[in-house]
Chain A
Amino acid sequence: MQLTKEILLDLYRKMNLVRRLEKRLEELVTAARVPCSGHFGLGQEAVGVGVASALEKTDYIFGTHRGFAEYIGKGMSPKEILTEYYGKATSLSQGRLGQHLLKLEAGIMPLPSSLGSEFGISVGAALSSQRLKNNKVTLNLFGEGTASQPDCYASLEMASLWKLPIVFVCNNNQFVELDSFKNLSPSQDVASRGAIFGIPYEITDGNDISLVWETTRRAVEKARRGEGPSFLEFKTYRRSTHYTGDPGGYQSQEEIKDWEKKDPIDRCKNLLLERRFLDENLEDSLLKEIDTEIEEAVRYAEESPFPAPEVANTGVYAL
């Protein structure tokens, strides 16, 4: 499938939605209107949006704890996200999950708090698809820091050994919580680690959404044809701190300015303008729609009731 005008506009809309929703949630966190912190991904929206949008609705994605890019990309709405953050009865999990976004019907799979615990689980999901022949591909998106987990390596080993329909994607934003990846790993490339197990890998620009989408799409279709796993790495830069309230200081202002010039939303906008897919009128109405959707979601989440306390002690075991 080609990256059409419709798809490119949709990616642009989703990136804007992600950025604005994250900004709005940050205000709500700072104002203590939601009972948690937030982990945002300013400047890296193209990766999550691009990879998630390259999947079919029925495919599985295992996402990260940072921001909403892959969740919006795979079909979660601001209402669904905010009701989870608010812990309200109207959330999909009925207040059980908070930041650990999950929407099974959109193929959005568990996000474990313990980073990297999804490696084995994602391989299991891909094994199911291979055995059940249901044509689904699994995409596991993780940060470069999480790739240090030992489960990463045995997962790559098994995925390659069994030729599973899975795509491993490293969102390399250069920061591992409150430290630079440079201080934590002698090797700044992560995807090449797949080569140990014979997994083909590709390392490319994560701020170019059309490139992210096309690269992912190729790997996904290859997996769907039964040709086994790939390992992709998208290089980007996280301009936000690790969490709301993190004093920061580990990102240099110069670097941030440099990366602002490579902003994925600006770059996508320029491409759209260049191809005359977008003009100022369309841009205005698109952003207005996004803001309206977000404000409606905030209102809905705030007005929604909390779950009844009795819910806490129900539903541990499946029948």
Chain B
Amino acid sequence: MSREISFIKAVREAFREEMLRDEKVFVLGEDVRAGIFATTSGLVNEFGPDRVVNTPICESTFVGVGVGAAMTGLRPVVQVMFSDFTFMAMEMIANQAGQWHYLSNGALKVPMVIETPCGARGGAGYGHSQSIEAAFMYPPGLKVVVPSDPYDAKGLFKSAVRDNNPVLFFEHRRLLTLKGEVPEEEYTIPLGQAKVRREGGDCTVVAVGRMVHEAMAAAESLAREGIQVEVIDPRTLVPLDKETILKSLQKTYHLVVAEEGRKRSGFGAELAALAAEEWFDYLDAPVKRLGAPSVPLPYSPVLERACIPDSKSIIAAVKSCLKGE
């Protein structure tokens, strides 16, 4: 049986199910009891304050608390209220969480999730709106999940909680109220499996997070002009399902990458490099990358929009790619 629920509700269900399943799972962060973005709202009533823990405002320390708890037998989900603030805890994430399993020669494990809302929704300004998921592809030992709909959010969240490694889980703020079909039955989605959202033989568009929806709109519109776009949602940036992207390229020979994060050193940069290095035989045209310019994200709605790719810019990029520009 399936029903339509929001992204928020899907994540909250995943939280609840995983907390019921394993008493070592708990959530920690600023205002998780009230739940600013509501993914944790109400959990305190069912699980009590020991498993839904409000912290003082100090990201580096409470992410560190998560790392220490994960190393010693618990499975924390640490919520960072805005993904922009994860940079305040970058030391903990990049230098500590991702490295000690390797450094300890396997003696330590760090099974934790960092759940964090991201992305531009208008009106929030530079420090509440960025998409910085690609920054976490660089440090070793981390996994990076960027779901684009409620179904994936729930299934991926459950896998993230059960994973024995630190996993960053990005929730785009404009997707939080998005509704979608979610089964009532238990399911999980493995980390590292991309999803072909739409099949097409002319051009492959790999789109991250909310960009999947822009890419789908672009594909719809291009189909009316006779251009068949294959839209791939990688779902996890690390580990990356290279196989699914390669298979698509072997069909389309054209690659466009769309992300809301910055283009410079972004996910698209990595994918374009992979394409040049490993998939050169399957490229008939230069790879097109869409992403934000390397500017602080400005506040005014007009300026914010100017920084973020949309279906129009994806359409233009696909056409340009198909012309071999």
Q: Which residues of A contact B (CB under 8 A)?
A: 60, 92-94, 96-97, 100, 102, 104-105, 109-110, 112-114, 117-129, 131-132, 134, 150-151, 154-155, 157-158, 161, 315-319
Q: Are A122 and B68 in contact, with the CB atoms below 8 A?
A: yes
Chain A CB within 8 A of B199 CB: no
Chain A CB within 8 A of B74 CB: yes
Q: A131-B26, A318-B110 are in contact. List 18 more A-B contacts (CB 8 A).
A: A92-B107, A96-B102, A110-B100, A112-B96, A117-B64, A117-B96, A120-B65, A121-B64, A122-B68, A125-B69, A126-B68, A127-B68, A127-B69, A127-B74, A128-B74, A151-B61, A158-B55, A315-B105
Interchain CB contact (< 8 A) of B58 among A129, A154, A315: A154
Q: Are A112 and B108 in contact, with the CB atoms below 8 A?
A: no
Q: Are B73 and A132 in contact, with the CB atoms below 8 A?
A: yes
Q: Are A151 and B71 in contact, with the CB atoms below 8 A?
A: no
Q: Which residue of B lies closest to A311 (CB)?
A: B105
Q: Are A124 and B104 in contact, with the CB atoms below 8 A?
A: no
Chain A CB within 8 A of B225 CB: no
Interchain CB contact (< 8 A) of B141 among A104, A109, A317: A317
Q: Which residues of B contact A (CB under 8 A)?
A: 24, 26, 50, 55-56, 58, 60-74, 76, 91-92, 95-96, 100-111, 140-141, 143, 164-165
CB within 8 Å: A-B pair count: 141
Q: Are B64 and A123 in contact, with the CB atoms below 8 A?
A: yes
Q: Which residues of A contact B72 (CB under 8 A)?
A: 60, 124-125, 128-129, 132
CB<8 Å pairs between A and B, sample of 6: A60-B72, A110-B103, A110-B104, A123-B65, A127-B65, A155-B61
Q: Which of A105, A109, A161 has the most chain B CB atoms closer than 10 A to its own CB? A: A109
A134 → chain B, closest Cβ, in Å? 8
Q: Which residue of B lies closest to A121 (CB)?
A: B68
> Given the complex of chains A and B, what is the CA–CA distance between A129 and B65 in angstroms?
12
Given A120-B62, A132-B74 in contact, is the A315-B101 Cβ separation under 8 Å?
yes
A142 → chain B, closest Cβ, in Å? 14
Q: Which residues of A contact B165 (CB under 8 A)?
A: 317-318
Q: Which residue of B lies closest to A312 (CB)?
A: B102
Q: Which residues of A contact B106 (CB under 8 A)?
A: 315, 318
B69 → chain A, closest Cβ, in Å? 4
> Given the complex of chains A and B, what is the CA–CA distance between A154 and B88 in angstroms?
14
Q: Are B103 and A102 in contact, with the CB atoms below 8 A?
A: yes
Q: Which residues of A contact B140 (CB under 8 A)?
A: 316
Q: Are A151 and B60 in contact, with the CB atoms below 8 A?
A: yes
Q: Are A123 and B104 in contact, with the CB atoms below 8 A?
A: no
Q: Are A104 and B104 in contact, with the CB atoms below 8 A?
A: yes
Interchain CB contact (< 8 A) of B71 among A124, A150, A154: A124
Q: Which residue of A lies closest to B111 (CB)?
A: A318
Q: Which residue of A lies closest to B143 (CB)?
A: A317
> Given the complex of chains A and B, what is the CA–CA distance between A122 and B65 in angstroms?
7
Q: Are A117 and B91 in contact, with the CB atoms below 8 A?
A: yes
Q: Which residues of A contact B100 (CB under 8 A)?
A: 110
> Given the complex of chains A and B, what is the CA–CA distance between A150 and B110 in angstroms?
23
Q: Are A158 and B56 in contact, with the CB atoms below 8 A?
A: yes
Given A117-B95, A131-B26, A158-B55 in contact, is the A124-B60 Cβ separation under 8 Å?
no
Interchain CB contact (< 8 A) of B61 among A93, A109, A119: A119
Q: Which residues of B contact A128 (CB under 8 A)?
A: 68-69, 72-74
> Given the complex of chains A and B, what is the CA–CA distance between A158 and B67 in angstroms?
15
Q: Which residues of A contact B62 (CB under 8 A)?
A: 120, 154, 158
Interchain CB contact (< 8 A) of B92 among A93, A120, A161: A120
Q: Are B91 and A123 in contact, with the CB atoms below 8 A?
A: no
Q: Are A131 and B50 in contact, with the CB atoms below 8 A?
A: yes
Q: Which residue of A lies closest to B60 (CB)?
A: A151
Q: Are B68 and A120 in contact, with the CB atoms below 8 A?
A: yes
Q: Are A125 and B68 in contact, with the CB atoms below 8 A?
A: yes
A250 → chain B, closest Cβ, in Å? 28
Q: Which residues of B contact A119 (CB under 8 A)?
A: 61, 64
Q: Are A121 and B74 in contact, with the CB atoms below 8 A?
A: no
Q: Are B164 and A319 in contact, with the CB atoms below 8 A?
A: yes
Q: Which residue of A lies closest to B98 (CB)?
A: A316
